[in-house]
Structure 1
């Protein structure tokens, strides 16, 4: 190799190696700082694309879980109110049975009737307050009759899970047979327990009404349980997606720590090698000494 003060091949090679080491060190520091081995598309375009798609999927499932959690809240409120209504019907039945006793006085029957009316009128109040986010699953859809609420079940919005809308409102029919739905305790008069005979009719209506109420609450509870299970599934699915993304892009910091130590040593050696190579032209001076 010729000696030249213009071209120092040793220094150029040493500089190339040092620059390569510096780039490696920069990459290691980026992975340590971000915690990702692939933090941008230039690191690995194909894997970055997959990771971004899965991040979008995971983010979309957040909306699904929000919808399902809203469904659970609506169901919880409705079930709490439904249980209260069932208890009220049971108490109303107790009053009707007591008032159907032919041996009691008119004063006693009037007392039972007063308690019965108070309980009866409480049902409308309970139903009216059984709303969550303006959704009420006990009023039959009210002004806009509907049979169910549909909630998101997948990330594309093509699947839904339903919560039925039941109707526990009292009807105001008249006669000996309960109306459909069977929540009819009226006989066309205000004082429904005014006689032993009327009390017996109301008592029989309440048997059917209570059976209907409990059956409908059970149907609502079954759907609520399904929604709860689906929300749990979506939660586990999100965990799996996050885990999959982690396998693709997360950096192994233990490995990166070892690489950092080794690369720092390479950087120090590269710097020293460049320094030595830069001193090579100094040897040319010895050729011109006397």
Structure 2
């Protein structure tokens, strides 16, 4: 026995060791109950700890992708709303064409020059047309979401990654749905509509044939917009499907990580009660051993 060391009987040492072990187990059990996890560190269970950590890390990465997809969905919706507005405006432009045709039919032995020397119902139609074209362009300009506008240019692109490695993605491209992109324009005191073979300008809508060309251009513009709207709808479906998938996959990963590390609170509660009882009994046993040793010492 070393100098200064307190002498302990073998039974006292056994009781003390048991108390130390019980105290350590109590600490672990209390930590599991407070955290709700049976695996809190790699020491508890290396395989489960690192597997759960990997699941959680991927879930966090997917959550970031989900936010980007949500923003892309809003960008597509903004563009689709813009297209609907442009289509409505083109319908109004067609109405102006109808009025112009009526004016031509009502004019006898004279050409109707819209916005110029036109008479009767044709007067002022150029102004109406040009204002509608201006509103069409304004709709296109205002169809932006967070700085991305699919309706202004074909050079606009948006890439959305679908997985954490960026190996699956969707690349969406814009297009010019303004008046110039759709070959529709209005200017000056005359009406200008771009046809399939060139521009019809300088008030050359004074004949039925020029109106036919103008209406054909508007019809072509509507067909183009409807095609682009279908493309946007397809992109929206892809984004929405991927968003749903990521939501489900993220939940699967989180649940998987939880199952690898979570504690059974009923089991841990029972363990805590058992260890507390064992600790009390151990303390009592140590006290009894100490009293017995003191009684023996008093005999000498």
Question: What band does the TM-score fall into relative to the shorter chain?
Answer: 0.7 to 0.9
On the 8 A contact 1:97/1:203 being kept in 2, the answer is no
On the 8 A contact 1:78/1:138 being kept in 2, the answer is yes
Shift in CA distance, 273/193, structure 1 to aligned 2, threshold 3 Å: farther
Q: Secondary structure at the match of 1:131?
A: coil
- Residue 245 of structure 2 corresponds to 233
- Residue 177 of structure 2 corresponds to 168
Following the alignment from structure 2 to structure 1, what is the Cα–Cα distance between the partners of residues 193 and 54?
64
On the 8 A contact 2:193/2:214 being kept in 1, the answer is no
On the 8 A contact 1:21/1:263 being kept in 2, the answer is yes
Following the alignment from structure 2 to structure 1, what is the Cα–Cα distance between the partners of residues 40 and 261?
7
1:103 to 80, 102, 105: 105
Following the alignment from structure 2 to structure 1, what is the Cα–Cα distance between the partners of residues 295 and 246?
73
Q: Secondary structure at the match of 1:150?
A: strand
Alignment of 1:147-162 (within 5 A): 148-162=157-171
Q: Secondary structure at the match of 2:158?
A: strand
Per-residue deviation, 1:252? 1.9
Per-residue deviation, 1:103? 3.1
- Normalised by the length of structure 2, the TM-score is 0.83
1:275 corresponds to 2:287: yes
Q: Structure 1 segments of 4 or more deviating over 4 A?
A: 172-176, 191-197
Following the alignment from structure 2 to structure 1, what is the Cα–Cα distance between the partners of residues 268 and 95?
75
2:148 to 123, 135, 148: 135
On the 8 A contact 2:195/2:214 being kept in 1, the answer is no
Following the alignment from structure 2 to structure 1, what is the Cα–Cα distance between the partners of residues 170 and 284?
68
1:205 to 201, 205, 217: 217
On the 8 A contact 1:164/1:220 being kept in 2, the answer is no
**Gapped runs of 5+ residues in structure 1?**
none
Alignment of 1:27-66 (within 5 A): 27-66=28-67
On the 8 A contact 1:71/1:163 being kept in 2, the answer is no
Following the alignment from structure 2 to structure 1, what is the Cα–Cα distance between the partners of residues 93 and 171?
32
Which range is displaced more, 213-222 or 168-177? 168-177
Per-residue deviation, 1:269? 1.1
- Residue 235 of structure 2 corresponds to 223
Following the alignment from structure 1 to structure 2, what is the Cα–Cα distance between the partners of residues 169 and 10?
94
Following the alignment from structure 2 to structure 1, what is the Cα–Cα distance between the partners of residues 15 and 46?
31
- Normalised by the length of structure 1, the TM-score is 0.86
> What's the CA shift string for 1:125-149, capped at 9, x where partnerless?
11111111211111224xxx25x42
Per-residue deviation, 1:151? 0.7
Following the alignment from structure 2 to structure 1, what is the Cα–Cα distance between the partners of residues 298 and 211?
128
Following the alignment from structure 1 to structure 2, what is the Cα–Cα distance between the partners of residues 187 and 202?
8
Following the alignment from structure 2 to structure 1, what is the Cα–Cα distance between the partners of residues 8 and 283?
19
Kindly report the root-mean-square deviation, in angstroms, between the aligned alpha carbons of the 2 structures: 2.4
On the 8 A contact 1:99/1:113 being kept in 2, the answer is no
1:214 corresponds to 2:226: yes
Following the alignment from structure 1 to structure 2, what is the Cα–Cα distance between the partners of residues 129 and 192?
32
> What's the CA shift string for 1:188-226, capped at 9, x where partnerless?
34x575555433321121111111111111111111121
Per-residue deviation, 1:177? 3.8
2:196 to 175, 178, 190: 178
- Residue 261 of structure 1 corresponds to 273
